Amino acid sequence: MARVISYADATVVEMHDRPCWTADDHERVTQTLWQAGRGQSRLVVDCGGVRFITGRFLSALLVTMKRLGARPADIALCRIAPAPLEVFRATRLDQVFLICPTLEQALAADWPEPRPIILAT
């Protein structure tokens, strides 16, 4: 199960090694992320223990973002292993979530300028 740690300006959720591996776990992770992010200016998902991700985990992150009304980079991910990081890059979700190498950098990161997801031509 995920561990939740509250800080003054953010909440950190430490994920376990295979988040959302089952449908039940997907619902638990989504609920945990949503509850942790409510009322906080930043939600940090610490993926240091995560070795494998599935589409369900990506879904949980996106559902949480929508439920919270978060903008791109309001949810930060940190300590992502190389294989899961490649999934974020391939799906271009690295453009939606702020990705930092360490927890400290995620907590201290400046707020990025919001970029439009759809560019006018």
pLDDT in tens, 84-110: 999 999 999 999 999 999 999 999 887
pLDDT, mean over the chain: 89
Angle between helices 23-37 and 55-68 (to 10 degrees): 30
Q: Which CATH superfamily is 3-108 part of?
A: STAS domain (3.30.750.24)
- What is the band of 21 on the pLDDT scale with cuts at 50, 70, 90? confident
- What is the band of 40 on the pLDDT scale with cuts at 50, 70, 90? confident
pTM of structure: 0.86
Structural domain boundaries in the chain:
3-108
Of the ranges 19-23, 30-34, 114-118, which one carries the lowest mean pLDDT score? 114-118
Label residues 17-45 b or e (16+ Cβ within 10 Å = b). eebbbeeebbeebbebbbebbeebebbbb
- What is the band of 114 on the pLDDT scale with cuts at 50, 70, 90? low
| Contact call for residues 47 and 80 (beta carbons, < 8 A) | yes
User: In this predicted structure, what is the pLDDT of residue 8?
Assistant: 83
Listed in sequence order, the residues at least 6 apart from 46 whose beta carbon sits closer than 8 Å to its beta carbon are: 12, 13, 14, 15, 78, 79, 103, 106
